[in-house]
Each structure stands twice: as structure tokens, then as C-alpha cells.
Structure 1
Amino acid sequence: MIQCKRAYEAPAPQDGERVLVDRMWPRNRRKDQLHLSAWLPEVAPSSALRQAFHRGEVDYDGFCQRYRQELADRPQHWWGLLDKARGGTLTLVYAFKDEQHNNARVLAQWLEDELDRQGPGSSPVCYADELGPKV
């Protein structure tokens, strides 16, 4: 199961593996407050796309489309998250205020689609150990 949670919400035991999926560290949050398994800034949208979305130059649909293309172009950055999702609960942690329109939601849907495409018995062959630095 994949879920999304703001970095400003308290961690819970049912969160399972908690992975920060923002390019920048959440403001006013210490490492020990987040209880992360990993921080994967490279799986976040590019800085240019993130900034265009925040400035309103790209609407949410355009952001989703462009971010999904970035994910398609860089499978090595997210591939290891599939094993974490297959093994139990994966919580994608993000800092954006809008809980419905953010990169973690797009990434969660991307990963769910990929799990559906691969089927229940498949396991990633490559990139499985690339989960980013431990925090």
C-alpha cells in the first residue's frame, strides 16, 4: 500500500517505510521528527518544473503530465520504491501545503500504476538496491 503524508503530520506506526520525496528539506523540521527510512530528492520533480508550478506558470494537469514524463525518463530513481510498496506500507512524505495537488500524489499514482502493470508476482530486476541515502 502506498500513502502520502505531509512532513508536518506526526509519524504513526502504521506508516511503514517513510520516504521523503521532496527536493528540498521541509522547513522547521528536524531529522528526528520525520522518522524517515530514506530521503530521495532525485525522485522529486525537477527544480524548473517545481518552480513553474509554484509560480502558476503550469497548472496541475500540466505539472502532472510533465512530472510523469520526468519519472518515465528516470526509472533508476524510483524503481526501488516498488519493492518497499510490495513489502508493506510505503508512506511518501512531502512538505507542500496542498494535500491533493502535489508531487507525492503524482508519484504514488505512478508507482501504483507500475505495480499494476507488473502484476503481483513480479519483482524489479534492476535498480532494486538504489533507495538513496539513509537519513
Structure 2
Amino acid sequence: MGTLRILRVYEDPEPDEYRVLVDRLWPRGEKKDRVDVWLKEAGPSTEVRNAFGHQPEHFATFVKDYRAELKHNPAAGETRGLAGEHARVVLLYSAKDRHQNQAAVLLDFLNGVATEVG
């Protein structure tokens, strides 16, 4: 499996990185050519995303609920497959918080890391 990392969609990835957008919604103001593939199904459901609302006090519940969705989400396997096909993959997200966002949870999930929130 290639290397995986996360990056805000508004930042520039390395030239050799395969860019995978993992947001359900297209980020405002971004051009399609800045992304290699959009896996919107890899993002959390509308219900889970709205319940989180990017409020730090809701992050622990968000992690639990989103990881539960990822266990049955074919897009998680598709993301793993892309990491097997490309040496360097960057998971792009549009959230302002660099630590409490779905890409961080997805990265930990793909790497088999049990996310501790606390």
C-alpha cells in the first residue's frame, strides 16, 4: 500500500501525489482539475455530518458514528484500493480544523488506528 496523508483541499499537494477528495459536498471555489478523483461516498452521511457541525464537543460522537458507517461503506475499500494503485495518496478535505475532520478519521480508519478522543 502506498503512503496516505491528509491535506486541506485549498493547499497545494506534492506534484506526485494522487489527490482524492473525501467530502460529500464539493468545496466552494475549487476547480475540478485540482482533484484526481472525488469519492463523495467516502464522506460521512448527511446525518452524521450535521450532528457534528464541526463543534469540538461533538467530535467524539462523530468519530464513533462515522467509523461505524465506514465499516460498511464500499468507498472505504475503494480508498484503500487507490492507495494500492498509487505510491502517494493525499486525502483532501475542506474543513477548517486540521485535526477534527472526516479525513483525519478516515485516515486513522484506513491505517487501522483506533481513534482515541478525549
Same fold (TM over 0.5): yes
* 1:78 and 2:64 aligned: no
Secondary structure of 1:62's counterpart equals helix
- Say if 2:56 and 2:100, in contact at 8 Å, map to a contact too: no
Deviation, 1:57, is 9.6
Task: Let me know the Cα RMSD of the aligned residues.
Answer: 1.9
Contact 2:8 2:93 in 1 (8 A): yes
3-state DSSP class of the match of 2:92? strand
SS across alignment from 2:44: coil
Matching residue's letter, 1:102: N
- State the AA in 2 paired with 1:25: W
Structure 1 position 56, deviation (Å) = 4.0
Q: Structure 1 residue runs of 4+, over 3 Å off?
A: 55-58
> Which structure has more helix as a fraction of its residues?
1
Are 2:23 and 2:93, in contact at CA under 8 Å, matched by a contact in 1? Answer: yes
In terms of Rg, which structure is larger? 1
Unaligned runs of 5+ in 1: 115-135
Query: In the alignment, which residue of structure 1 is the partner of 2:116?
Result: none
What is the TM-score of this pair, normalised by structure 1? 0.74
